[in-house]
Structure 1
Amino acid sequence: MTVVRTSHTHAHAVDAAIELFSRQGYEQTTVEEIADAAQVSRATFFRRYRSKEDVVFADHELLLEEVTVMLAATRPEARDDGERAWDPATAPYLEVCRAARLVFDHHLGQRATSLARYRLLQQVPALRDRELITTHRYERLFTRYLRDTLPADRSSTVQSIAFSAGVVAVHNAILRRWLRQPELDLRPELEEAFAELRRGATADLARRDQPVPTTTVSADGARVVVVQVDPGTTAETVADAVRTALA
């Protein structure tokens, strides 16, 4: 019940602040006016939101917590045996996309607030800066999750950052299209874009798993191909690597 009340309180404060900013102007609106409209004291306002910029994105504070909990529940050690199969090399990418979809659905579910906030962001540079901070927090959360959850040989910080940045960039690009044309249903496009990112990430992993041949020339001028492979590598895989090197 506490979570429900807190969520409602944050939503009310966000709506109140955006309505006042839109009607009166950002600079002209005081913290006291926002606190009165949100039906909280000035002290309570600063304890919860710290600034005028923060209150506009207060709903994302709760959403970040929800995403954190959701991702934590997908870690192998937190899963029940009866849940769907977990592929450690690919499933973490899927879970990050699911988390990003949750954020997208939040915007769609709060249509009036999302549209009003978008219009406000076009007018107030300080709020655009605050939006960037919120975006980077999602990106860091996704990166940390991938780095901690992918197998050790595939969880490089660079790879995790690249995928997380791609997910956030795709999400934001499609979200902005929806904010400009809210009559469109862009969720299928979002799903396909996320699927393409996952295909790219797993293709990179597959290429890293392939044996890398080196070609040298012997003293008599013959080409020598050397392929270093792991135990269990099939003969077909080795042959493919040699054919590639010779080509």
Structure 2
Amino acid sequence: MTAVRTHTHAQAVDAAIELFSRQGYESTTVEEIADAAQVSRATFFRRYRSKEDVVFADHELLLEEVVVLLAATRPEARASEEANRSRETAWDPAVDPYLEVCRAARLVFDHHVGQRETSLARHQLLQQVPALRDRELVTTHRYERAFTAYLRDTLPPDRSLSTMSISFAASVVAVHNAVLRRWLRNPHLDLRPDLEEAFADLRRAAAAPSAASNEPVPSGKRVVVTVLEAGARPEDVARAVRDVLS
């Protein structure tokens, strides 16, 4: 991605969130956002499509960066860099797919922390606007799908098509979101060590799965993974499960 594109999207995100926070989501027009972001109405719709989309425009770029980061460790990408390796290689033992997914998730976490004011303002906005919460779920699911697709392509053949790809991707996203919510409530805390420890726990569990974890999921069933803090209320549990299922 170019620096100009990154700056343009960041400017639009900040402008939209500032307007929504100051005068309300429903009361803010596309024209006002476009003016604040210094783009025409036509350019706005070409880039962002809707008011909901512009709030997460930075994550569109971040998702692209995550996909590129993961793609660089796919077997075919490494084979092109090392001529003595076959492009038919299905799995590279030198690459730890679980570690690469955690690294990509850390990139997302660092983005939130690095854009502190925007992240905090967006979080406040999400509490007030259901349409934005729905849009956030879509964004979260896209990260999860990217992680799952990568794991299916890079894990050893006997495990790549098992539930491990799905459950690990979902677990990483759930842990990331749980730690991120803690940080959003207490932005003065450095929670990266907590995130690293939680990711390490997930990798250890994935590296030595129990026999039960490799059993096929019955037809029509889904594996749902979510992480909550101790003492979570029943409604918090219900919302977390609903978010995953959505």
TM-score range, shorter chain: 0.7 to 0.9
SS at match of 2:72: helix
- Structure 1, unaligned stretches of length 5 or more? 209-247
Alpha-carbon distance change, 135 to 157 in structure 1, aligned in 2, over 3 angstroms: farther
Which residue among 187, 191, 195 is the counterpart of 1:190? 195
- Structure 2, unaligned stretches of length 5 or more? 83-90, 213-246
Distance in 2 of aligned mates of 1:109 and 1:185:
12
Q: How many residues align?
A: 202
Alpha-carbon deviation of 1:75? 1.5
Distance in 2 of aligned mates of 1:6 and 1:66:
13
Task: Identify the residue that residue 68 of structure 2 maps to in structure 1.
Answer: 69
- Greater CA radius of gyration, 1 or 2? 1
Equivalences for residues 60-209 of structure 1 within 5 A: 60-79=59-78, 80=81, 88=93, 91-204=96-209
Does residue 37 of the first structure (1) align with residue 36 of the second (2)?
yes
RCO (CA 8 Å, sep 6+): is it higher in 1 or 2? Answer: 2
SS at match of 1:176: helix
Equivalences for residues 38-57 of structure 1 within 5 A: 38-57=37-56
Distance in 1 of aligned mates of 2:140 and 2:101:
14
Q: Give 1:29's aligned amino acid.
A: T
SS at match of 1:204: coil
Distance in 2 of aligned mates of 1:77 and 1:44:
37
Residue deviations 1:51-82 (CA, integer Å, cap 9, x gap)? 0000000000000000000000011332355x
Distance in 1 of aligned mates of 2:208 and 2:162:
17
2:12–2:33 CA contact under 8 A, matched in 1: yes
2:75–2:92 CA contact under 8 A, matched in 1: no
CA RMSD in angstroms, aligned pairs only: 1.7
Percent identity between matched residues is 80
More strand by share: 1
**TM-score (normalised: structure 2):** 0.79
Q: Give 1:116's aligned amino acid.
A: A
